[in-house]
Chain A
Amino acid sequence: MIGHQWMYTKLIDSHHTGWLAGNTDWLVHVVSLICASVLILLLIIYGYILWLKYKSRRREQVKTTLMQELLAEGSFLQQYLNNGEIGVDVLNISGDQQIVLQQLLLQRLAQGPVEHETLRIRLLSWQVFGSSYRSVLKTGKWSERVNTLLYIEQFHMVELLPKLEDMLRVSSCTPLERFIILRIYARTGYFRIVKELMREQYVWSDSQVLQILLLLNDSSLTRLKDHFKDVPYQVQCNIVHAIRIRDDQTDGALVLLEKLILGEDSLLRTHAYQALAQVGRCREDLLKGLLLVWNESGEERQRSERLTVTRLMGDIHADAFIPRLKVMMGDPSFQIRQEAANSLARYEQGLDELRDTTVNHPDRYARQIAEETLERMQYGRKMD
């Protein structure tokens, strides 16, 4: 009853007409106008798209014909790639012809041609596209500039390096453009790359830095290793990765890694252990020595470092590591416990040590992981 009264008072007594009711005439006009405008706009876009379709279809036909001409036996492109003679008419091509030629040359490069053909492609690309690339870099829109940089990289256009240097200094140059420019520097062995990598101003992902470092020639990498303290921290970490991936077994690399392992920085230490495990295969004694140093003070180290070292202790056997591995089997991290058990299992006396752990280890999780590993080993033997 009370509800009815409330509704009555609220809705009828107050003569609720709503704020929309008095405004319907002009609202109808406004909404109809909006709908009509959108509809007209859509029709215009529709017409424009159809016109674009027509245009692009014709353009595609022209391109296909051009491509067939260029691929034909005896065409100027085939002749040039075979004999190395550039005709004057090749240098004067423009528009769609240039696009088709660029596409063909990129395809050819992707197929991995022989060296003399690669050199010819680079020379031709510079002579045909050089000036247009230069103007696009100056005035083109962002996506065009990025694409042009990618093409310059593919064609190794060292002649454009000074132009790229200017571009790098312009504040409007975006991080992606800067990254591609430095990648071109690295790929072409340009001397300024080391200086650029020592700058703090770049914000890149680790993989971008690593990409550049992996492209560097040996002398540039050596210079970076020599100035290791002066490069930004992100680059330092990636130099260590690069040493590992490039399997850099030079004395300079080994000394640097040793220094880092004995240093204070945990992340660099972890990376250095990983790198040394790869590049110091022939220097097992060195790695063993460094691991023994770690063995003395490893408990407070970070998880990633503990994990790396646990894995390495399984790769490089030393009786002194066994007690440490047993301690690691009681680590709070499941992954480290598992890795420690696996490493221990790889020792000659591993089976006995694991059995001993299942009974005598004070930590419940360590006993559990030892049991699991034993079970797995047993199962493995049955399967084999």
Chain B
Amino acid sequence: MDERWIEMLRSFVLACYEGIFIYLVLAIVMCSVLVVAAARTLILRRDLDPLQYHEMLDEELAPAVSLLVPMRNSENTIVQRINCLLGIQYARYEVIIINDGSEDATMPRLMETYDLMPIRSKVHYSGLVQETAQIKCVYQSRLHHRLIVIDKAYGGRMDSLNAGLNISQYPYIASVGPLTFLERDALVKIMKPVMDALPGEEVVACSGRVDLMVPENTAHPELTDNSTRRTSSALYIMQSIEYVRAFLIGGVGLVRYNINVLLFTAQVFGVFKKNRVMEVGGYKGDDHAAHMELVMRLQKHMKRIRERGRIIYIPDPICRVEVPGTWRQLRRQRTRWYMQLASSLWAQRSMIFNPAYGWMGMVSIPYFILIELLGPVMELGTLLLFISGIGLQLVDINLCIILALLLMLYGSLLSAGMVMFEIWCSRKTYTSREVTRLLLYACSETFWFRPLNNIFRMVGIVQAMGLRKEEEKEIRNGLK
């Protein structure tokens, strides 16, 4: 090869090294600051007695909530899930099950177990403008007055949530994910910030910490995390480390600075102010957009009408979620998440670096772009540069060592630090063996889990780009 070209390639690689060096330093500083902020909040609150939640059990004080639970083909799990929801400790709530065109025995099972009676004549629709798939009938249980069942034609998860939203009677709605098991005191905890909102403040969305459900316990969701031994599956441990990291940085950390964080966890379980969701037109029919897009629209809307809408994230665990048990499931989940993230950010791109949207536009969204969206690209890029730098000997070996060390600091050491803090701060009991295992796995994160995870994420981003191109094509052809 021409020497000039080699020189040019070397210069290019060097420029990439510099770019990634700056990115990693920035990311490490940003995450460390957020972790310290989160730590301050958690340390302050860690010893508070649960007695503080007692007033939430008063019927007159607790804001009423409608739980929206879309279901499809869940004949085997539906009764167990509904029983869990009906056992929640809260003064005023209703459970709205939306049967999204199930083709199995879900509906007969519900009819039989809960003695459902049709109540369509008494249903008041909230007047959501967006059309939903046809509602065949609305039922109420004769055994549990809180249980409402909507039987509708298939329309997807977001469509089901819109149908539930239209029928819900209470001022707050809570969407419950398909793999989510709520803690008994989930509503008590999540509604406390809503109750404590000062005059002039309005909590438009609220979510909280999500714990992982031990795979062996999925058949018994009523068991708490402490009542059973935790699994030693590597995939489960790595995911729990990942959740701790996301919880400390993206959740508590950002909220500590009053930055209205975009709720990743809202997908699992999130509470929204119903009238505001109605004002922004409900959920978008498109499943790719997800809750995050709704949160962004809500924030945009509140800015437009000049109201102070707050988005809150609570550090107490409110629910447990079933996590992928195999690499294949993990790949599917991560690809979907990143597709949703990219689609949501693209849909609300006008907010990016727009001072009109305050912290959301200037900090939260750029944070998500820089750390979450570009993270996989940058981390994989670092690995490629490291390998090419060593293999092709294009750059000084010291540069490769610096990048490798930074990558380890950003991936493994930061995660290990967060896990140690979580173990110290949490009310959960960990055995010494579990502590050691968590530390070792966290330290190994950079070498296997993060690269693999980043590949899955990249696939999601690429798919989102493909989707976008398809949409553009459709628009050009006049199909949309």
Contacts and interface: CB of A to CB of B under 8 A. Distances in A.
Interface stretch (A5-13, A88-96, A190-198, A219-227): A5-13
B156 interface: no
Q: Is the interface of A mostly helix, strand, loop or mixed?
A: helix
Given A24-B402, A31-B402, A379 B121 contact: yes
A: interface residue count bin: 35 or more
A208 B55 CA distance: 9
A131 interface: no
Interface in A355-384: 376-377, 379-384
A46 B46 contact: no
Nearest to B196: A205
Nearest to B120: A379
Nearest to A22: B396
A18 interface: yes
B416 interface: yes
B304 interface: no
A383 B196 CA distance: 43
A24 B435 CA distance: 36
Interface in B31-47: 44-47
Nearest to A375: B121
Given A11-B11, A146-B52, A205-B195, A45 B17 contact: no
A206 B199 contact: yes
Contacts of A146: 48-49, 52
A21 B405 contact: no
A31 B402 CA distance: 7
Interface stretch (B212-220, B226-234, B369-377, B417-425): B417-425
A147 interface: yes
A17 interface: yes
A214 B61 CA distance: 10
Nearest to A242: B60
B227 to A, nearest CB: 16
A50 B196 contact: no
Contacts of A151: 49, 51
A139 interface: no
A143 B8 CA distance: 61
A39 B430 contact: no
B7 interface: yes
Contacts of A50: 432, 435
B131 to A, nearest CB: 16
A158 interface: no
A204 B423 CA distance: 34
Contacts of B424: 45, 49, 52
Contacts of A255: none
A380 B420 contact: no
B420 A18 contact: no
A31 B48 contact: no
B124 interface: yes
Interface string B110-142: 000000001011111011000000000000000
A32 B408 CA distance: 11
A1 interface: no
Interface string A33-46: 01100110110011
A295 interface: no
11 contacts: A12-B11, A18-B15, A53-B435, A143-B46, A154-B51, A203-B199, A207-B61, A210-B61, A211-B58, A245-B60, A376-B120
Interface of A: 7-8, 11-12, 16-21, 24-25, 27-28, 31-32, 34-35, 38-39, 41-42, 45-46, 49-50, 52-54, 106, 142-144, 146-147, 150-151, 154, 203-208, 210-211, 214, 234, 245, 334-335, 338, 342, 376-377, 379-384
